[in-house]
Amino acid sequence: MTRHNVTSRAHGNPVCIGGMSTSSQTATPGPVMAGGSQRRALSPVWSLAAALLGFFMVTLDVVIVNVALPDIRREMTSGISGLQWVVDGYTLMFAALLLSAGSLSDRIGARRAFGGGVVLFTLASAACGLAPSLAALVAARFVQGAAAAAMMPASMALITHAYADPGRRARAVALWTLGGTAASTSGPLLGGVLTLVSWRLIFFVNLPAGAIALVLLARVAHSPRHPVPFDWAGQVAAVVAMGGLTYGAIEAGSAGITAPRVLAALALAVTGLASFIALQARVRHPMLPLSLFRSRTVSVAVATGFAFMVGYYGLPFVMSLYLQQLRGLPAWETGIVFLPMMLVGAILTPLLARLTGRFGSRSLIITGLAAMTAGLTVMALLPSPAPVVLLSALMIATGLAGPLVMPPVMALLLQAVPARRAGVASGVFNTSRQIGGALAVAVFGALLASRATFVHGLRVSLLIAAAVVLVAAAVSTRLLPARSGRVQ
């Protein structure tokens, strides 16, 4: 192995995916390897395996919780707003810290950032499983989200440092994405099976995964470090804005939109957002360069990512509650209902390159969003006694949108920005996705707060999601071809 296999690339383009980036830098040489055992110990395979497992853990905790929500509600005697916080506590911190997590990885080194994130994530998972109360569970979910934000960019940086050759790196990234695909596909069913014993097991499953990730990481070379600017003021403003908006939306369901605490939270969100925008326009090294939005492609991609997650994240939340609370399905059967939706994405993903070459990215994006709109609309208009098999089949339309929308949108986004801004553009895109998912759970949960009007709230939620996705489909027709309107 050459020194470039265990260090950062020098003077290269940033590599990013899913909001993760590493800055171009001159690498610090790794440790001298005197024997064959040391060379094996520093094989890039260990970096890839650790990163893949980390991505699996982070993604799994997004999807596995939904089917366990009714059991959590029964044991914790919680209302719908408590369940919303169980889901959104994780997503909120993930979204709020993702933009600046890449800077942390560069500052302290990817290996250290990833290891710290895994340790914190594993401990927080144990705290979730042992939580004596809903408040303790939500607090642990907040910590999980913060740890996930630290792990994601560091996991990609580990691969970047380990694979200097662009071709090998691209293959490694493709394998890395399998971690997320496997988690998305297995999460609902795994959560349902584990919930047969106890909902707490959905969090304890992270303990052996975290231990294995740390064992793998021990065989990874130390990562280079370099000082990078950190926008502390912008980060605080972002957390205030997202937190206030999420809290206000969740509490509006139980307290009403005119409740003093709801109005105060929304006012805090507006203040935080205004402060964030003002800071980003003035600071020398902003988390979010506003000039990115001069590109039509960037603006449309960010809006599309937001809308996609409203449907893709909101649907499992409302349907998990509906299938278990109103239709009487156990958790494991609910997981099976979601399985076709998740499997279709895994099946279609290997064909994506061929489909993109034949039909073009824009056509795939519009088709995927249109399919999601149709599926959500039909589900909203179905009579209540509709067969569960039919509901499962209709969810496939939302599953189709996963591979048809997200990879092509990401590709167009990265082609629309210069290499030096690819990382921050990717971070902005994925932050918008997480915000879309968090707000979907907050708003839809508010509509489902009353059992007497649950079905009506379910229909309204699905129609809202369909309308948001339909707008995104219309806006996506304005996506420019690659390299057009490229922001500088």
- Examine the pLDDT at 158 and tell me if it is beyond 70: yes
* C-alpha span between 466 and 344 (Å, rounded): 20
Q: 257 and 213 share a domain?
A: no
Q: Examine residue 356 and state whether it is found in any structural domain, yes or no.
A: yes
Q: Which residue has the higher pLDDT, 178 or 467?
A: 467
- Examine the pLDDT at 246 and tell me if it is beyond 90: no
Number of CB atoms found within 10 A of residue 382's CB: 15
Q: Mean of the pLDDT values across residues 123-145?
A: 95
Binned at pLDDT 50, 70 and 90, residue 24 comes out as very low
pLDDT at 300: 92
Residue whose token pair is 């980003």: 280
Residue whose token pair is 């709020």: 96
Buried-state track 293-325, b at ≥16 Cβ within 10 A, e below 16 = eebbbbbbbbbbbbbbbbbbbbbbbbbbbbbbb
- State which of 193, 221, 249 marks the end of a domain: 221
DSSP one-letter code for 219: T
Between the ranges 50-59, 104-113, 364-373, where is the mean pLDDT highest?
364-373
Alpha helices in 448-488 (DSSP H): 454-476
Q: Examine residue 404 and state whether it is found in any structural domain, yes or no.
A: yes
Q: Which of these ranges, 3-7, 64-68, 288-292, 477-481, has the smallest mean pLDDT?
A: 3-7
- State which of 165, 194, 221 marks the end of a domain: 221
Q: 350 and 245 share a domain?
A: no
Q: Examine residue 16 and state whether it is found in any structural domain, yes or no.
A: no
* C-alpha span between 133 and 324 (Å, rounded): 22
Q: Examine residue 27 and state whether it is found in any structural domain, yes or no.
A: no
Q: 445 and 310 share a domain?
A: yes
pLDDT at 206: 93
Pick from 423, 461, 416, 418: which is nearest to 228 by CA?
423
- The number of C-alpha atoms within 13 Å of 351 and in the hemisphere containing its C-beta is 11
Q: pLDDT of 312-336, one tens digit each?
A: 888 988 999 899 888 889 988 998 9
Between the ranges 225-229, 280-284, 311-315, where is the mean pLDDT highest?
311-315
Q: Which residue has the higher pLDDT, 234 or 32?
A: 234
- Examine the pLDDT at 140 and tell me if it is beyond 80: yes
Q: Mean of the pLDDT values across residues 236-247?
A: 89
Q: Examine residue 98 and state whether it is found in any structural domain, yes or no.
A: yes
- Examine the pLDDT at 97 and tell me if it is beyond 90: no
- State which of 221, 254, 278 marks the end of a domain: 221
Q: Which residue has the higher pLDDT, 165 or 188?
A: 188
pLDDT at 419: 60
Q: pLDDT of 401-419, one tens digit each?
A: 888 888 888 778 878 877 6
Q: 281 and 174 share a domain?
A: no
Q: Which of these ranges, 29-33, 78-82, 298-302, 420-424, has the smallest mean pLDDT?
A: 29-33
Binned at pLDDT 50, 70 and 90, residue 33 comes out as very low
- Which structural domain range is residue 246 located in? 232-286
pLDDT at 208: 94
Contact 46, 221 (CB under 8 A): no
Binned at pLDDT 50, 70 and 90, residue 229 comes out as confident
Q: Which of these ranges, 127-131, 149-153, 172-176, 271-275, has the smallest mean pLDDT?
A: 172-176
* CATH number of the structural domain spanning residue 98: 1.20.1250.20
Binned at pLDDT 50, 70 and 90, residue 121 comes out as very high
Binned at pLDDT 50, 70 and 90, residue 170 comes out as low
- Examine the pLDDT at 20 and tell me if it is beyond 50: no
Binned at pLDDT 50, 70 and 90, residue 7 comes out as very low
Q: Which residue has the higher pLDDT, 94 or 15?
A: 94
Binned at pLDDT 50, 70 and 90, residue 306 comes out as very high
The one-letter amino acid at 448: L
* C-alpha span between 408 and 414 (Å, rounded): 10
Q: pLDDT of 419-430, one tens digit each?
A: 666 667 777 888
Q: What percent of the chain has pLDDT over 90?
A: 31
Q: Examine residue 12 and state whether it is found in any structural domain, yes or no.
A: no
Q: 375 and 488 share a domain?
A: yes
Q: Examine residue 24 and state whether it is found in any structural domain, yes or no.
A: no
Alpha helices in 196-330 (DSSP H): 201-204, 206-217, 232-255, 260-282, 296-321
Q: Mean of the pLDDT values across residues 146-167?
A: 82
Q: 383 and 250 share a domain?
A: no
Q: 301 and 281 share a domain?
A: no
Q: 281 and 301 share a domain?
A: no
Q: 81 and 169 share a domain?
A: yes
Q: 308 and 419 share a domain?
A: yes
Q: 317 and 169 share a domain?
A: no
Number of structural domains found in the chain: 3
* C-alpha span between 175 and 167 (Å, rounded): 13
Q: Which of these ranges, 7-11, 221-225, 483-487, has the smallest mean pLDDT?
A: 7-11
> Chain-wide mean pLDDT for the chain?
82
Q: 479 and 406 share a domain?
A: yes
Q: Examine residue 22 and state whether it is found in any structural domain, yes or no.
A: no
Q: pLDDT of 338-397, one tens digit each?
A: 889 888 877 887 787 788 888 888 899 999 999 999 999 999 999 888 899 999 999 999
Task: Return the bridge partners of 17, or none.
Answer: 20
